[in-house]
Amino acid sequence: MQFAIASLVATAAVVSSVFVEQVHLGLATSAIECANGIAVEFASSSDKSMTVTYSTHGDAVKTATTTVESYSVVGSGYNYTSPFFHTALLCNLKPTTTYLYDIGQYDTGCGSLFSSNFVTAPAQGSDSVPTVFGIVGDIGSEHIIDTLKNMAAGVNGTAAQALIIPGDYAYANGEHEQWDAWYTQGQSVFSTVPTLGINGNHETIKGGGATKPKQDKYVTENYIGYIHRSNNPITAAQKKALRTYFSADVGLVHCVFLDDYAGTRGADKKVIGTQSWLDERNLQLKWLESDLSSVDRTKTPWVLVFKHNAYYNSWDKHQCQCDATRFEIPDQEKCWKGNYDKSSGSVYSEPHCANQAKFEDVYLKHGVNMVIAGHVHAYERTAPMAKNKIDPKNGVVYLTTGAGGHGNICVRLDTVPDWSVAATSEAFAATRLVATKNVLSVYTMTNQDNTVLDSFQLTKNGVVNLQTNIQQNNKNQLSGSCDGD
């Protein structure tokens, strides 16, 4: 089944009535020529550019004009045309400042169609206030508001300055109406706190629709919903080439976002192993090396990598192996090119082993502090790791925070590695991160009652364990349900 995907160019047509919905903020950067900025994106029935008015106390009111686009998916048994997506870039904003914004005016006398506010993040390198993130992957729709409120809550009276999603947003799986529903559900939070994120498998290689039973008419996403909606600081040229990796400096943290599915093309499994697939992988690897080489640790002492797939993972789902010995990669080139152990999953669906073959050396070389993933619908923290060995001095901490609400994965491996410090799937939960110049504090807290499941600190002297309410065992369950993908 072939689907034609077309981008629609905005015109100046005027309609009699206009709606504004799915309002969500993103962090804008100089990569899209909007330093220290916020991107306001929303869906509308209008294909005419609109104005976003914004202001802060003591400053003159400013305006920004939206760019407009939409997309369509047309094929056998399924036809979808998106609303018109408007994006306004509010640039050169003051750090740690509250701004009010209004969407409108559509035409004379219409007035504001939507109003809200946001607080900007600290400037790069500033320690006037802590840098605070809310982080979780694999959100879906079932518990979205509880999860988003958990992410946004922050720590000790400082709310999150950004929400970070390491993949698997709406679980639309080619049913694009689910994207519309998801951003509508989350608008109350998305319109006040900006997001950053990276695609997962449900934004790239998953089809079948949002609900069971799956239907063939909903073909794989192949990035289209994610690219048009996620509101990340990615250039038009990157989007056109399906290159979604990027970085951003937020306060004291350099954030790197890596695409585990780089080079894939929807449902086409035959692309794996081809030169074009490998070329895309090598481009991302080259970019990662260049990006980390340019980090100024005097300004951003903490370097975090966000990606979807968890490599050091002691749960039984989403495993991959390059060798008969799990978590060992003796032949990096072979693994990088997608040649897995015959007992393992495929590089198409579980690419993290192939990526780890080359990425880990770069992490270690440049002193990455933590690699944060989702994909596994559970929580796990490792000891500092270097090549499948605990290395307190030089190792990288790997964190899996995929308990965002779309089911739980509950069975551990028969033999749990000694590097697994804490792991649970007993509750839907999100991770909150607080960075100061000298300490990076990490708390994972339940949606239901803000119970701290696990907390620790990274310092220049190593990891400090704070508090954990996790009992290490092989089967942790939530209401007897252990599903999710």
Query: Can you tell me the distance from the alpha carbon of 382 to that of 370, in angstroms, rounded to the nearest whole number?
Result: 10
Question: Cβ–Cβ contacts within 10 Å for residue 95, how many?
Answer: 16
Identify whether the C-beta of residue 69 lies closer than 8 Å to the C-beta of residue 88. no
What pairing do the DSSP bridges indicate for beta strands 78-81 and 114-119? unpaired
Quick one: tokens of 27?
Answer: 């962090």
Burial class (CB in 10 A: 0-12, 13-18, 19+), 121: buried
Cβ neighbors of 351 (< 8 A, separation 6 or more) are: 260, 261, 264, 309, 320, 338
DSSP output for 419-434: TEEEEE-SS-EEEEEE
Task: State pLDDT tens for residues 352-386.
Answer: 999 999 999 999 999 999 999 999 999 999 999 99
pLDDT one-digit tens code per residue, 171-216: 999 999 999 999 999 999 999 999 999 999 999 999 999 988 999 9
Q: With bands split at pLDDT 50, 70 and 90, how would you rate the model's confidence at 345?
A: confident
> pLDDT over 90 for what percent of the chain?
87
Half-sphere exposure of 253 (CA within 13 A, CB side): 28
Q: Greater confidence, 235 or 342?
A: 235
Between 1.10.510.10, 2.60.40.380, 3.40.50.2030, 2.60.120.260, what CATH number should domain 1-120 receive?
Answer: 2.60.40.380
270-297 pLDDT per residue, tens: 999 999 999 999 999 999 999 999 999 9
Task: Please state the pTM of the whole predicted model.
Answer: 0.95
User: How far is residue 266's CA from residue 241's CA, in Å, rounded to a whole number?
Assistant: 14
CA dihedral 383, 385, 390, 391 (to 10 degrees): -110
Q: Which pair of structure tokens corresponds to residue 221?
A: 């996403």
Domain layout of the chain by residue ranges: 1-120, 123-468
Residue 14 has pLDDT above 60, yes or no: no
Q: Closest Cα to residue 218, out of 325, 116, 90, 75?
A: 75
Beta-bridge mates of residue 102: 53, 115
Amino acid at 175: E
Alpha-helical runs (H) found in 15-174: 144-152
The CATH code that applies to domain 123-468 is 3.60.21.10
Q: Quote the tokens at residue 94.
A: 């003051």
Are residues 359 and 286 in contact, defined by beta-carbon separation less than 8 angstroms? no
Q: Could you count the other beta carbons within 10 Å of the beta carbon of residue 339? A: 14
**Is the pLDDT confidence value at 8 over 50?**
no
Map 129-171 to HEC letters.
Answer: CCEEEEECCCCCCCCHHHHHHHHHCCECCECCCEEEECCCCCC
CB-based contact 1:76 (threshold 8 Å): yes
Whole-number average pLDDT of the chain: 93
